[in-house]
Amino acid sequence: MVTGVIMLKEHAVALFGTQSALAETLGYTRQHVSQWPDPLPQKYADQVVGAAYRCGKPKAAISRLSKGQHPFPSSGYGARQCV
């Protein structure tokens, strides 16, 4: 479990490309994800990080996300769905 992470919803979405892709990967509806607060509760942050590892997202992007940073600071690279 990742502890003490302050993760913004926009950063989690950026890692997966779209809110719909993030929701589908985690088994939620897009509407459910749209209602998440900022920053994300630890439960959701842990789920996002776990899904990112399972989906083979770049480790550097996951590391930045886990530090509360944007996963892809200067590009849209990495946005792909993993279901």
pLDDT value at position 79?
A: 45
Residue 12: exposure state from Cβ atoms within 10 A (0-12, 13-18, ≥19): buried
Q: Over 90: is that where the pLDDT of 23 sits?
A: yes
Q: Hey, what CATH class is 1-83 in?
A: mainly alpha
pTM over 0.85: no
Q: What is the pLDDT of residues 34-57, one digit of tens each?
A: 999 999 999 999 999 999 999 998
Q: Give 40: exposed, middle or buried? Use CB within 10 Å, 0-12, 13-18, 19+.
A: buried
Over residues 68-79, the mean pLDDT reads 64
Tell whether the model's pLDDT for residue 80 goes beyond 50: no
